[in-house]
Structures are given as C-alpha cells and as structure tokens.
C-alpha cells in the first residue's frame, strides 16, 4: 500500500499534480490511499468531494478524509508527499521509504534566510534523499 499525503500550503501536490499522479497510479496492482491535510479538506471540501467522486470506481485508489485513525499511514509500504512533516514521522518510526514530489518549498517564515541556520525540513530532506 502507498499513502499519498500532501502538505497544506500553496502549490502542494493537490494543487499542482494530484490528478496526473493518481491517473498514472490508477488500475495498478497496488492500493493507493490519498490522505489530504485535514485543514485543506476543511477549507476546500468541494474539491475533495469532486476528487472522491472522480475516483469512486477506481478500485485501487482510496480518498480518505476520516482523520480519526492513522493506521493507513503507518501500515503503508511507501509514503508519497511534498513538504509535509509526516514524512519524518513516517520515515523515522517505520524505517520505510518516503518519495518526495518536488513542489515549491513550504515556507512558513519568509525571513528564514536571515537566520544563519538551515531549516530542518530542507536539511533532513536532503539527507533522506541521499540514503
């Protein structure tokens, strides 16, 4: 099982390439669970209802918007994400691989370059990719 979890910021996987990604994964021999960020679902419920409707008959793709459990995340064989912090929780607790989709970097502090410390999410992502 692969779980796809986009982050919640402008230009994330959902905004940029989710349809193309899911279209390329549909009909394959493995299960794909799309677990969007709860806040994105909350603010863009119509988008997610359309997404669920589009893939409702695709047997290997599940659009999950019930966030009361996290078993689909931690039982997954691979996590696919962009800049979501779930990548680190998943990788370090399960010791399973993360596939990063290169989207524009998630910047919570636009002045981060003024601080002479590389942000953790950039530093650790580079280390994880090289493993």
Asked if the model's pLDDT at residue 89 lies above 70, the reply is: yes
Q: What is the DSSP letter of 96?
A: -
- At 33, is the pLDDT very low, low, confident or very high (cuts 50, 70, 90)? very high
- At 40, is the pLDDT very low, low, confident or very high (cuts 50, 70, 90)? confident
pTM: 0.86
Spatial distance between the Cα atoms of 12 and 104, rounded to a whole number of angstroms: 7
Q: What is the pLDDT of residues 56-79, one digit of tens each?
A: 999 999 998 888 888 888 889 999
Q: What is the pLDDT of residues 119-130, one digit of tens each?
A: 888 888 877 765
Structure-block tokens of residue 59: 């047997």
Identify the pLDDT of residue 130.
Answer: 56
1 contact partners, CB below 8 Å, separation of at least 6: 30, 31, 32, 33, 72, 75, 76, 77
Query: Per-domain residue ranges for the chain?
Result: 2-130
Closest CA to 125 of 71, 33, 103: 103
Identify the pLDDT of residue 94.
Answer: 92
For domain 2-130, give the CATH number.
3.40.50
């Amino acid at each position: 099982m692969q779980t796809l979890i986009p982050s919640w910021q402008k230009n994330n996987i959902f905004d940029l390439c989710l349809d193309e990604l899911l279209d390329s994964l549909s009909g394959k021999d493995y299960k794909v669970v799309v677990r969007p960020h709860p806040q994105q679902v909350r603010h863009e419920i119509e988008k997610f209802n359309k997404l669920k409707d589009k893939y409702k008959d695709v047997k290997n793709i599940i659009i999950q918007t019930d966030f009361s459990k996290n078993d689909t995340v931690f039982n997954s064989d691979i996590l696919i994400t962009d800049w979501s912090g779930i990548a680190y929780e998943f990788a370090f607790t399960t010791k399973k691989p993360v596939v990063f989709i290169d989207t524009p970097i998630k910047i919570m502090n636009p002045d981060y370059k003024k601080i002479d410390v590389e942000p953790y999410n950039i530093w650790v992502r580079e280390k994880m990719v090289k493993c």
